[in-house]
């Protein structure tokens, strides 16, 4: 009870900028370590050759599909859990996290089996060609075998952040990334497994991390207990999970489909173009993941205070988060623009791959200053349970906006059109986010002031 009271004081009373920073720093560190892993993993794969690099890019949407289902349960469950804690309903929160985790593992097993059965048509849909098909099959088959660990890891990280255990979540992310970085060169080069070694390193790291995070519950160190006896699925719990998690699932699935379309569009300009886009996406991810980590610190603050009816704190946390995230994005924009070439050359690409990647990184960076606001408002809708708005924004950046652009722009601007699709989609999503953001802020102000126009001091 004392631990719950401390958390309530942290989220509900302390200065919002301090609370967000306290929760965000572990998430940022964890996400950055994870981004560094993706960067280093891509670097090692690129050293194998252009075909291996392009195969990893084709296999990336497969990994995103698995992550999408982990986020469905993790983000949906964590949002509901945060609100339950704000209402001081610890018993229902315990039941929720148990249902979330067990359901996630079952889903992982099902996805793994289905993925292996339909492996070849799946990778062909995501842009595999005769040059990289053997590499792609070797890579993705191992990912599907480890699907339960990928999904379980994602769910546990989100659930731990929801209860305020951000440091444990951070250590979990760091453990997985560090193990992956260590194992990559061993399996890829020492054991001469090539790209299959990269996939195997990923799954082993994910498995060990899952055991580490799960042990936090088994050793009864968590604020909310997870017990097999609490596995009592209910329509209410699944409705809450799906209401918030489904937009994230749809967004990630659309993102996977979009990357597949982008791979196919790039294939028309050679395997080098596919490899270059793989490099650009991993470098961009290095900057994006820190932003994602920060907004994950914002989400429980907004969710808790909305559940506790402390609407001014919701507004304050949104303003602070928007300011900090926008400043960060402007800094990353400048770094990518100025140092694009030396960053790309870390991957030792062939000359044509390097040329396309440098141009691509600068083009993708054009919309970076707008992403901070878009991400914060998206997280706000998730935090306060606004499913409709969250769904619209979740499927916009890499779905509604991006997919038509990938289909249209290459016919107008050739390879430049492929590279322009993402930043143009970001600009359009920012405009839509601004419209919805104004509406939700007005609603929260009205809730704060109450029907009689007086400030709500609850």
CA nearest 358: which of 272, 273, 278, 276?
Answer: 276
Q: Is the CB of residue 249 less than 8 Å from the CB of residue 119?
A: no
The pLDDT of residue 8: 61
pLDDT (mean) for 394-403:
86
With left for phi above 0 and alpha for psi between -120 and 50, is residue 270 left, alpha or beta?
Answer: left
**Other beta carbons within 10 Å of 27:** 27
The pLDDT of residue 398: 81
Residue 451 pLDDT more than 50?
Answer: no
Residue 3 pLDDT more than 70?
Answer: no
The Cα angle at residue 213 between residues 207 and 215, in degrees rounded to 5:
100
Query: What is the per-residue burial (b if ≥16 Cβ within 10 Å, else e) of 166-203?
Result: bbbbbbbbbbbbebbbebbbebbeeeebbbbbbbbbbb
DSSP, residue by residue, 350-390: -HHHHHHHHHHHHHHHTTHHHHHHHHHHHHHHHHTT-HHHH
The pLDDT of residue 49: 92
Here the tokens at position 97 are 């996290």
Taking the C-alpha atoms of residue 153 and residue 156, their distance in angstroms, rounded to an integer, is: 5
Q: Cα–Cα distances in Å, from 185 out to 31, 52, 239?
A: 22, 15, 44
The Cα angle at residue 329 between residues 327 and 335, in degrees rounded to 5:
110
- Percent of the chain exceeding pLDDT 90 equals 59
The Cα angle at residue 336 between residues 331 and 339, in degrees rounded to 5:
115
CA nearest 404: which of 430, 422, 387?
Answer: 422
Q: Is the CB of residue 37 less than 8 Å from the CB of residue 217?
A: no
CA nearest 157: which of 89, 228, 209, 225?
Answer: 209
Residue 188 pLDDT more than 90?
Answer: yes
**Of 228 and 421, the one with more pLDDT:** 421
Here the tokens at position 222 are 């968590």
Q: Is the CB of residue 123 less than 8 Å from the CB of residue 195?
A: no
Q: How confident is the model at residue 457 (pLDDT cuts 50, 70, 90)?
A: very low
Taking the C-alpha atoms of residue 348 and residue 44, their distance in angstroms, rounded to an integer, is: 10
Taking the C-alpha atoms of residue 149 and residue 255, their distance in angstroms, rounded to an integer, is: 21
pLDDT (mean) for 403-431:
96
pLDDT (mean) for 47-64:
92
Helices marked H in 188-308: 195-218, 235-267, 271-307
Share the mean pLDDT of the chain.
Answer: 89
Q: Is the CB of residue 419 less than 8 Å from the CB of residue 359?
A: yes
Taking the C-alpha atoms of residue 109 and residue 115, their distance in angstroms, rounded to an integer, is: 10
196-222 confidence digits (pLDDT tens) = 999 999 999 999 999 999 999 998 888
16-49 confidence digits (pLDDT tens) = 888 888 888 877 887 787 788 778 888 999 999 9
For helices 147-162 and 271-307, give the axis angle rounded to 10 degrees: 30
351-388 confidence digits (pLDDT tens) = 999 999 999 999 999 999 999 999 999 999 988 888 78
Q: How confident is the model at residue 7 (pLDDT cuts 50, 70, 90)?
A: low
* Positive or negative: CA dihedral 378, 337, 127, 196: negative
pLDDT (mean) for 54-74:
92
Residue 429 pLDDT more than 90?
Answer: yes
C-alpha torsion angle, residues 277, 280, 281, 282 (rounded to 10): 120
Q: How confident is the model at residue 96 (pLDDT cuts 50, 70, 90)?
A: very high
The predicted model scores a pTM of 0.79
151-171 confidence digits (pLDDT tens) = 999 999 999 988 878 788 878
Here the tokens at position 382 are 């998730």
Q: What is the CA radius of gyration of the chain?
A: 21
Q: How confident is the model at residue 94 (pLDDT cuts 50, 70, 90)?
A: very high
Q: How confident is the model at residue 50 (pLDDT cuts 50, 70, 90)?
A: very high
Here the tokens at position 52 are 């291996």
Q: Cα–Cα distances in Å, from 139 out to 28, 116, 144, 444?
A: 28, 12, 9, 47
């Amino acid at each position: 009870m004392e631990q719950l009271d401390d958390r309530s004081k942290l989220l509900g009373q302390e200065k919002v900028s301090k609370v967000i920073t306290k929760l965000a720093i572990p998430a940022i560190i964890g996400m950055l370590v994870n981004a560094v892993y993706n960067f280093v993993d891509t670097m090692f794969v690129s050293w194998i050759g252009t075909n291996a690099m392009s195969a990893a890019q084709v296999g990336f949407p497969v990994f995103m599909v698995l992550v999408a289902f982990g986020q469905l349960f993790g983000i949906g469950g964590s949002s509901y859990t945060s609100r339950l804690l704000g209402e001081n309903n610890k018993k229902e929160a315990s039941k929720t996290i148990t249902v979330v985790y067990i359901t996630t593992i079952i889903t992982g097993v099902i996805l793994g089996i289905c993925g292996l059965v339909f492996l070849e048509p799946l990778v062909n849909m995501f842009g595999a060609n005769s040059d990289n098909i053997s590499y792609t099959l070797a890579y993705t088959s191992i990912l599907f075998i480890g699907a339960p660990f990928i999904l379980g890891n994602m769910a546990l990280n989100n659930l731990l952040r929801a209860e305020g255990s951000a440091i444990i979540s951070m250590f979990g992310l760091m453990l997985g990334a560090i193990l992956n970085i260590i194992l990559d060169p061993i399996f890829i080069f020492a054991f001469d497994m090539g790209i299959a070694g990269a996939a195997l390193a990923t799954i082993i790291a994910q498995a060990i991390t899952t055991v580490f995070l799960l042990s936090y519950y088994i050793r009864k160190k968590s604020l909310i207990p997870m017990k097999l006896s609490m596995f009592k699925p209910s329509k209410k719990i699944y409705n809450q999970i799906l209401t918030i998690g489904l937009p994230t699932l749809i967004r990630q699935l659309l993102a996977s489909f979009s990357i597949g379309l982008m791979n196919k569009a790039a294939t028309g300009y050679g395997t080098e173009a596919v490899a270059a886009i793989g490099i650009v996406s991993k470098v961009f991810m290095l900057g994006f993941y820190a932003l994602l980590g920060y907004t994950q610190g914002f989400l429980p603050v907004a969710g808790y205070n909305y559940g506790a009816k402390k609407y001014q704190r919701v507004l304050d946390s949104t303003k602070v988060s928007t300011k900090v995230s926008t400043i960060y994005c402007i800094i990353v924009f400048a770094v990518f623009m100025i140092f694009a070439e030396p960053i790309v050359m870390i991957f030792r690409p062939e000359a044509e791959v390097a040329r396309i990647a440098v141009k691509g990184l600068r083009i993708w960076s054009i919309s970076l200053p707008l992403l901070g606001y878009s991400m914060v408002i998206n997280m706000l809708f998730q935090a306060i349970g606004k499913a409709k708005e969250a769904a619209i924004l979740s499927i916009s950046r890499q779905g509604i906006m991006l997919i038509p652009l990938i289909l249209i722009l290459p016919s107008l601007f050739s390879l430049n059109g492929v590279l322009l699709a993402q930043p143009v989609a970001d600009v359009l999503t920012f405009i839509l986010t601004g419209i919805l953001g104004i509406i939700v802020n007005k609603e929260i102000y009205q809730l704060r002031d109450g029907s009689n126009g007086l400030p709500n001091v609850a």
